[in-house]
Structure 1
Amino acid sequence: METQSEFVTKLMGWLTEAVAIAQGWLLSAAAWSQFALLALAVLGAVYVTRRISPLAGRMLDPGDKETVMATARRFALRFLPLMMPLLAYGFTAAGEEVTRSLFGSGDVIAFGKRVFFFLAARLFVQQVLRDPFLKLLGKYVLVPVAALYAVGLLDDLSLRLEETIIALGNIRFSVMALIRGVIAGGLLFWLGSWSNRQSADYIKKQEELRPATRELAVKATEVAIFGVGFLLLLSIIGIDLTAVAVLGGALGVGIGLGLQQIAANFVSGIILLIEGQTTVGDYVELDGGEKGTIVKMTARACILETFDGKWIVVPNDHFITTRVVNYSDQGSANRYEAAFSVGYDTDINRVPEVIEAAVRALDFVLDAPDGPDCELRAFGESSVDFAVEYWVNGIDDGKNRYGSPVLFAIWNALKAEGIEMPYPHRVIEIKGGLPQGNM
């Protein structure tokens, strides 16, 4: 009850003060002159906006152009709704200087100026901001701050929040610093993400750079952007960087004790990007049996996409500490072979010429670095074993993209020449003759 009565007493005091201010404004010639200046400022802002806004709209309209200047003009065009409240704010600011010099008072026109600022803030959030995060931040931060500024409570509330201190061990900061940190952290995170996307898109468009160099530049830019943002956030909150040094020492101990693998993967990722021997687009096969095309390289791992659409996450240190077979970049030549057999009654001297001609006729088989080469491999139990080697651009994707047409060509060529591909034969010898059954 005591708390409630104290609140009622404060509320009544504020109401009494507000009534006194209103009476002073209504009974003061200086206040009425300020009301007149406010009206003139509004009329002047409306008049100037109606005259200038259409002209500015035509000058800034880029049409269907997609150049950098067109994008900038299109962005500036979004600010046209702010013209009227900002002009009114400027006119009232000039009128405030006049009334203070003539009457020594400008409270009324100063209040009107703050109201115009509040209107500009609302329009800015409603019509200018398009990003969902910025729009949310403006709705729940910028507009309430502008409202407090308009009614003259912003300074008192800021002072009260500055005086409220929070202590966490040796670190002390005010509630106001915490609020600034949350707001600044959100803005810095959004700005960092936006900057990172823009810089990554720009770097990836630089075709003259190697893929590994582009990836390294993207990662370095990302680390730099968010590192600077983190330091700025600490400075805004007011945290002493010596405390961060202590935190960094503790983090170093943690890395030494329990995060060695994460640190090893991070360093291995940097080595991979610097060396460039393995990069995005390469088809690789590791000792552990993992194989696929590298589609993404992160600070911790490389992501392989197999030919059946699965993604395999392979830690970066596997590429440093184990044997890796790299089938080189996409579009490079690779050699494959297809094995087949013929019967012992075949004139095997004809086989290489027949098979090489059939394989060379396939449109994907290359003549360089070497054309098809049919080799005699072995004399088997039931057949003579051959293999034909051939070069193609790219990688056999596991779906027999190259192997199947080659085998069809071998089969058709052998059939056309009357050469049989034998099946196993067995000779069974029964000693002692067949047993005689009872007749």
Structure 2
Amino acid sequence: MDQETPAPGLTEQIVALLDQGRELLQMFLTPGWRQNQILIVLGLIALAWLMRLLTEARVQDWTRARDGWPKYRLRMLVQVRQRLALIYFVAGAWVVYAVMRQVTWPSRSYLIGIAATLATAWVVIAFLSRLVQNRTLRRLLTWGLWIYATLYALELIDDVTAFLDSVAFRSGELNISLLAVLKALLLVITLLVLARITTQAAGRSLNRNEDMSPSMRVLAIKAVQVLMYGFVIITGIRALGFDLTGLALLSGAVGVGIGFGLQKVVSNLVSGIIILLDRSIKPGDVISLGDTFGWIDSLGARYVSVVTRDGKEYLIPNEDLITSQVVNWSYTNKFVRLDINFGTSYGDDPHEVRRVAVAAARSVNRVLGHPTPPVCHITGFGDSSVDYILRFWITDPSDGLTNIKGNVFLALWDAFRENGISIPFPQREVRHLNDPARTGGGDGADKAAGAEKTTGGA
């Protein structure tokens, strides 16, 4: 039986790669066609930069003149303008390569072909990477593809693959090499990009579906995201060589521990699902929770975003919306009743006061006149005034409550002045009495007795 040849160690592979690099550098420094091809490539690079300097201003002016073009075309033109030198080099390199293939031996244009291939790959990767919106993922994907394209063009894939596979971590039957990690990383990045594109397309499609309620759209979008990103995570773990069946018992034990430590997080997640299912709160609703009054901007997996009239955005945990008392001003409909309390003098006719108050409320734009018109009632006879309550309805609570109340108060003020109706205020008369006879005469140590008399308002 033949003995298997042992695989070279890490040190031997590094030495071999350094020797190959030294031999390659020696070939480039030796006079001949290899050196001539390097000089031709350097000349093409200089020519590409010169062409860029000569044409960049014209290309920029031409791009600015495309006002009616769609945004994606304008973005593409910007990318072209930023990579003019590389595009010029690609065009020149392929022309020179094709000419030299016809007029001389193929070996005398080999390096020029490699340079043209690399430059073309870089241009294609640069444009394709713009599809990834996340900057970190885009950079990782770009650098990974550039490195792979470079190694492929230089025919170093097999050597680098063997080197990365030899750098491994071994623990029992588990063997994780650097090559497996890089493959898993590249696979996860690619799947994340595809998952992001898929979830965005699904989100746009679901948001255009008018047959679904807003809460059901959010729930469907969240479900698509969980499925897609969960698939990416499981695929990445399996790509590293982990056996998921062996992790079942460990994941159960860890899950119990995590359950105690993340009770609030799990509670918020479950509460968010309940909110989406029962549709008690949906984007656009106007709610009050404690001192917070605003409208629902978005529903998250852990919290609800509430935007107030003063521009503050509160992130309220989903659990608080389930366990606390929430006022939803637009749950079944957007009709909201508001009350205003005021008082008038006893000398004014109550029938006239009620008529003027109702007419003043009707004159405000946001106050409804139909089907629930404003009403005014007497609520009591106070010490200084006859007390009234004015009730009116609106249908746009998201536009604010304080401002509409202020407008109604101003309308009442103007209407009362026009009709001679007065708004009283309490008046009190205080008298200070100094009576030497009652205090026993004293030598400057007189005592003052006060009496307070209260009169009605004017």
- Fold conserved (TM > 0.5)? yes
Q: 1:303 aligns with which of 289, 302, 305?
A: 305
1:181 corresponds to which letter in structure 2? A
| CA drift at 1:164 | 3.5
2:124 matches 1:124 = yes
SS at match of 1:349: helix
2:357 corresponds to which letter in structure 1? I
| CA drift at 1:406 | 0.8
Cα distance in 1, alignment partners of residues 291 and 230 from structure 2: 37
2:435 matches 1:435 = yes
Matched with 2:276 is: 273
Cα distance in 2, alignment partners of residues 86 and 330 from structure 1: 68
1:345 corresponds to which letter in structure 2? G
Give the alignment of 1:26-425 within 5 angstroms: 117-126=117-126, 129-130=129-130, 136-137=139-140, 140-167=143-170, 171-246=174-249, 248-286=251-289, 288-328=290-330, 332-395=334-397, 400-425=402-427
| CA drift at 1:200 | 2.4
Percent identical across equivalent pairs? 29
1:162–1:9 distance in 2 versus 1, CA, 3 Å: closer
1:165 corresponds to which letter in structure 2? A
SS at match of 2:397: coil
Cα distance in 2, alignment partners of residues 8 and 224 from structure 1: 46
Cα distance in 1, alignment partners of residues 265 and 248 from structure 2: 21
| CA drift at 1:180 | 1.0
Deviations 1:270-301 (A, max 9, x none): 11111211011111112x43332121211111
1:372–1:169 distance in 2 versus 1, CA, 3 Å: farther
Cα distance in 2, alignment partners of residues 291 and 366 from structure 1: 22
| CA drift at 1:405 | 1.6
1:429–1:243 distance in 2 versus 1, CA, 3 Å: same
| CA drift at 1:226 | 0.8
Cα distance in 2, alignment partners of residues 290 and 405 from structure 1: 22
1:412–1:126 distance in 2 versus 1, CA, 3 Å: closer
| CA drift at 1:373 | 0.3
**Aligned residue pair count:** 387
SS at match of 1:377: strand
| CA drift at 1:404 | 1.3
Cα distance in 2, alignment partners of residues 424 and 7 from structure 1: 97
Structure 2 residue runs without a partner (length 5+): 1-9, 28-32, 34-66, 82-86, 98-105, 442-458
| CA drift at 1:169 | 7.4
Contact 1:372 1:389 in 2 (8 A): yes
Cα distance in 2, alignment partners of residues 359 and 319 from structure 1: 34
Contact 1:340 1:387 in 2 (8 A): yes
Deviations 1:205-226 (A, max 9, x none): 3344321112112211211221
Deviations 1:389-418 (A, max 9, x none): 011121175573211121112122222222
1:230 corresponds to which letter in structure 2? I
Contact 1:125 1:135 in 2 (8 A): no
Cα distance in 2, alignment partners of residues 270 and 315 from structure 1: 12
Coordinate RMSD, CA, aligned? 4.9
| CA drift at 1:425 | 3.5
Decide which moves more: 120-129 or 264-273: 120-129
Cα distance in 2, alignment partners of residues 10 and 156 from structure 1: 8
Cα distance in 2, alignment partners of residues 12 and 271 from structure 1: 65
Structure 1 residue runs without a partner (length 5+): 21-25, 27-62, 90-105
Cα distance in 2, alignment partners of residues 10 and 351 from structure 1: 99
